[in-house]
Every structure is written in structure tokens, then in C-alpha cells.
Amino acid sequence: MRLATLGDWLVPWVITTEVDQFLAKAGQFLESDAVANNALLTEARFWSRLPSEPVGGFFGWWVEGSEVEAAFVHLPDHAVICSRLSRSAAADLTGAVPGADCVGVEAADVQTVTDAFAAQGRVLQPAASLTLLRLHAPVRARAIPDGRPRPAELRDLPVLRAWFKLFQQRHPSDRSHVAFVIDQPLDDGGVTVWERRGQPVAMASRTPQVAGMVRMGLAFQPIKGTAYAAAAFAAACADAARTAETVLVLSGTAEDTATYTSLGFVTVLDRVVLRDSVRPGEPLL
């Protein structure tokens, strides 16, 4: 653990590579607004469950007085994910994550963070907008194709991993970890398979539950079209709502937001990914 520095000044960002320490120190703060901080909680819990003491993750919390008032999570090949930031926390973020080229913040903090980086000669510009939505009513499924949903089982793991690899081949900019999308959700009963004539044809996953929340993840079918994946997603949402108090989904396009809204989701907040406009950037969230 260390205190971040900005020039010759000691600043109250506390940085650690120990995710368990981060959760012990910042967990209560994050859970005080668990929905807004879902990304940080989910990423940190994922990292804490990886075997063999994974390396490369950095975690920080901002102390003001004696209270934690902000936090960030920075995993390899991902943007820095920030909670809501005070002006002071944003001003000193550059000292806490000096090598970061990509920072994810709440939309309300964009100007504060870009001003802080600009003061250090860094130009951050919006690279993506993300909308967090919450399931507000029983999911309204659309036309249902042939087949039925079922919980994925351990025997499905080779197929699910092969599908995930195919998904990454089709979306090479996606840097999601197979353990985040497939392995850990499967261990927690969080993967739904759509089965047709006894054969799996699509899947939908969700993050393991943390602070009463799950977030819907990848919905995918290997064959052309989206009907089976959409059916798996709707079934997975309904299943999640039976066990979790809060079901969330993250959208990156207006089209996806409209689709989720039609299923019964409502917008909670918007986040923005800021990328360094000069230095080579890291992948997005």
C-alpha cells in the first residue's frame, strides 16, 4: 500500500495491489450507493476470486477526513473505473494513475476530470458513452423461438468457452476475461443456455451477485441471427430477478438502450469513457 503523490505533495489517494484490502477499506463506501458503483464492486469481486494471486490490478480509495469519499479500480487492459469524484479527488487522480490513458467516470464528472488532466498537460476526450439500466418490472419477452431455456451446467463449459472465443474473434477490441464472462458466472449458476432439440444454440450470462445486484453480460449465439440469444437473455433476466434484488445491464448504443427499455429496464445513470487523445490508448471497458 502507498499514498499517491502529485509533484512534491502527499495526496489522500491510497493505492494498493491487494484487492481484499481495497474491499475492506472501500467496500462500505461502494455499497452505500451500490448501483452507481456496480462496475467497481463487480470488477473487484471478480479479481478477488481469480486463482494464483493475479497481478497487474491496482485499486485506490480517496480519504477525506477519516471517511472514504471516492474509489477506483484499474485492471489490466481495462480503463480506470471511477466512482463519483469530488473536485479534490478528481484533481489528484492524475497522480494516482499516472500511466492511465483511459478513464471511466460518471457523466456528471466529465468536465471536472478533463480539467484536472488538462492542468497536468493531458488531453482526455470522450471515447464512448455507457448507460446503466435497471430492471424495473417483470421482463417483457419478445417473440420466443423454438426451444427452451435451462441453467448451464459444468458439462456445457467447453461449448461456452468455445462460443466466447468465437465472440472475441468477431469482436477483437473486446478485452473481457473468460473467467468474468463464463467461468465465474457458471460457478454461481449465472449462465442460461437456450436449447433447441436437445442442443444448446445460445447463451446469456450475468455477473455473480454482489451487494444484492447482478449485471447482465454476454448474450450470444454462434449461428446467424439473434433470436435465440435474445430469448436466452430474457430468460436469464427473469431468472436473475428471482434471486437478486437488483438486475442491471450496461448499454453502449442508443439501439441497445431502446431494446433494454422495451424489455422493462429503466435508465439509472450515464457513464463516459475518456481517452487520452495524444498517447496510445488502452482498451475501453
Specify the pTM.
0.90
Report pLDDT for 54: 87
Which candidate, 124, 131, 28, places its Cα nearest to that of 80? 124
137-263: what CATH class? alpha beta
Distance from CA of residue 137 to its chain's centroid? Answer: 22
**Do 252 and 262 meet the contact criterion of CB atoms below 8 Å apart?**
no
Residues of the chain with CATH 3.40.630.30: 137-263
Report pLDDT for 212: 96
Per-residue confidence in pLDDT tens, the chain, 285 aa: 445 443 333 448 999 999 999 999 999 999 999 999 999 999 999 999 998 878 899 999 999 888 999 999 999 989 999 999 999 999 999 889 888 889 999 999 999 999 999 998 899 999 999 999 999 988 887 788 999 999 999 999 999 999 999 999 999 988 899 999 999 999 999 999 999 999 999 999 999 999 999 999 999 999 999 999 999 999 999 999 999 999 999 999 999 999 999 999 999 999 999 998 755 444 445
**Do 74 and 84 meet the contact criterion of CB atoms below 8 Å apart?**
no
Sort strands 213-220 and 246-251 into parallel, antiparallel or unpaired. parallel
2-129+271-276: what CATH class? alpha beta
Give the Cα separation of 207 and 216 in Å (integer): 6
CB atoms within 10 A of CB 42: 23
